Amino acid sequence: MTFSLVARSDDGLSWGVVVASKFLSVGSAVPAAVAGLGAIATQADANVAWKGEALALLDGGATAEVALARLLEDDPGRDDRQVGLVDAEGGVAAFTGDRCFDWAGHRTGEAYCAQGNILAGPQVLDAMVETWETSGSLPFARRLLAALAAGDAAGGDRRGRQSAALFVVREGAGYGGRDDVAVDLRVDDHPDPVVELTRLLDLNDFYLTASTPEEREPVGPELFAELERRVRTLGHEHVAEWVGSQNFEMRVAPGLKPEWIDRRVLQILRDTTDDPDSTNHEGGARA
């Protein structure tokens, strides 16, 4: 019912799972990961208990291969299961039970494994693997999603499309740096879920990741005065209030007088306000 890819990033700092299926809310059942431990996809007749069990085994020092052997040993329903595991060191293990519906199989490589069942054919996994192995220049989450899109284009789940998910962890990568969840996106029911997941990742990158130094416009006195005028036309007392109301905390420096503002955020503010006093913008936003 599902095709997925589980991987560790080349720099060894991130782990992730990307998955799609003709199944409602596949992201609620298949993926799990913890930074510094590893990641798992459990599918087919998914044993969702394997997620916690596998991560606990990895936390106890087991490799992916040892953890998988323990999962299979203790589960009488293993012949109906499919699973892929990547551990902290990039070790991989995968299993496809004999009773998984055709076409079913898996592929493993350096720090990744791809697996699927009820697929249009082996070309689905072949396309995922080829894309994964040739897209190392992409950011990790984008690389995972590119592999999923390639599998989808190659036929994906032979029953059709319904849901997709992307889950990525990295130490301190969560909102405000308070957990390890870098990306947790789910498309639960959609006619083209992989395309929709791509749209959501674009939003995630904008709202939930911090601006890079190259994206930041320094806020000098003239620009700060402009910002204050513009946010007041929108009914806000100060810039910080507007930033909070628009969820731009990751894209504007903190404080009542921010030291910098993301150029895209600056352009959004200018596009949505009328400020006749601002005829000579300091710096200026760039597309």
Host H or E run for residue 271: helix 263-271
Can you give the length of the chain in residues?
287
pLDDT, tens digit, 9 for 90 and up, residues 60-85: 999 999 999 999 998 999 999 999 99
Give all domains of the chain, ordered by start, each with its CATH number. Answer: 2-207 (3.60.20.10), 214-271 (no CATH)
**pLDDT band at residue 278 under the 50/70/90 scheme:** low
Residue 1: the pLDDT is 67
DSSP letter (8 states) at residue 26? G
Mean pLDDT for 239-245 is 97
270: three-class secondary structure by DSSP: helix
**Mean pLDDT score of the chain, rounded to an integer?**
94
Percent of the chain residues topping a pLDDT of 90:
92
Residue 177: the pLDDT is 82
Residue 287: the pLDDT is 34
Distance CA 68, CA 120 (A): 26
Give burial (CB, 10 Å; 0-12/13-18/19+) of 275.
middle
- pLDDT of 255 strictly over 90: yes
pLDDT, tens digit, 9 for 90 and up, residues 80-134: 999 999 999 999 999 999 999 999 999 999 999 999 999 999 999 999 999 999 9
Distance CA 182, CA 185 (A): 10
pTM exceeds cut of 0.85: yes
- pLDDT of 53 strictly over 60: yes
pLDDT, tens digit, 9 for 90 and up, residues 141-195: 999 999 999 999 999 999 999 999 999 999 999 887 889 999 999 999 999 999 9
Distance CA 121, CA 138 (A): 27
Residue with tokens 């300091």: 282
Residue 175: the pLDDT is 81
Taking alpha carbons only, the member of 74, 81, 82 closest to residue 6 is 82
Mean pLDDT for 249-277 is 92
Specify whether the CB–CB gap between 132 and 149 falls below 8 A: no
Percent of the chain residues topping a pLDDT of 70:
95
pLDDT, tens digit, 9 for 90 and up, residues 106-117: 999 999 999 999
**pLDDT band at residue 283 under the 50/70/90 scheme:** very low
pLDDT, tens digit, 9 for 90 and up, residues 199-229: 999 999 999 998 999 999 999 999 999 999 9
